[in-house]
């Protein structure tokens, strides 16, 4: 795999249907092989009352990338725990640290 231990990522699971849950993961690569990634970070899910929210606890997960997985590299200087999801009027849905980093995820968030 072309990803190194220590790299930070935003992994978005593509939805098959509009009613599928919006979910993604922001974290750091702990280990990688040709077919799997071990990561530590935060899970984000859609809550009908609050929008996209980050689960507070750190999680370790194994990921087997496939055609539903979109892996975005996050610059090393970004503090993963500072990331938030914001709606920018007229532009869309973004994952940002409210400093220098901003990732447009509008095509994945959709509207509920």
- Write down the domain spans for the chain: 8-109
Mean pLDDT of the chain: 88
Spatial separation of the C-alpha atoms in residues 25 and 42, rounded to whole Å: 6
Given a cut of 50, is residue 111 above it in pLDDT? no
Between the alpha carbon of residue 56 and those of residues 18, 59, 68, 88, the distances in Å are 26, 9, 25, 23
Computed on alpha carbons and rounded to an integer, the radius of gyration of the chain in Å comes to 14
Instruction: Give the residue-averaged pLDDT of 42-67.
Output: 89
Instruction: Give the residue-averaged pLDDT of 28-37.
Output: 95
**Range of 36-40, 65-69, 102-106 with top mean pLDDT:** 36-40
Spatial separation of the C-alpha atoms in residues 83 and 100, rounded to whole Å: 11
């Amino acid at each position: 795999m072309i990803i190194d231990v220590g790299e930070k990522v935003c992994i978005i699971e593509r939805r098959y249907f509009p009613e599928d849950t919006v979910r993604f993961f922001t974290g750091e690569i702990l280990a990688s092989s040709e077919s799997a990634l071990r990561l530590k970070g935060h899970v984000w899910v859609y809550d009908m009352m609050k929008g996209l929210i980050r689960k507070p606890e750190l999680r370790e997960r194994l990921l087997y990338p496939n055609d539903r997985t979109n892996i975005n590299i996050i610059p090393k200087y970004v503090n993963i725990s500072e990331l938030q999801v914001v709606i920018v009027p007229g532009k869309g849905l973004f994952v940002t640290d409210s400093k220098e980093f901003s990732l447009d995820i509008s095509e994945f968030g959709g509207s509920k």
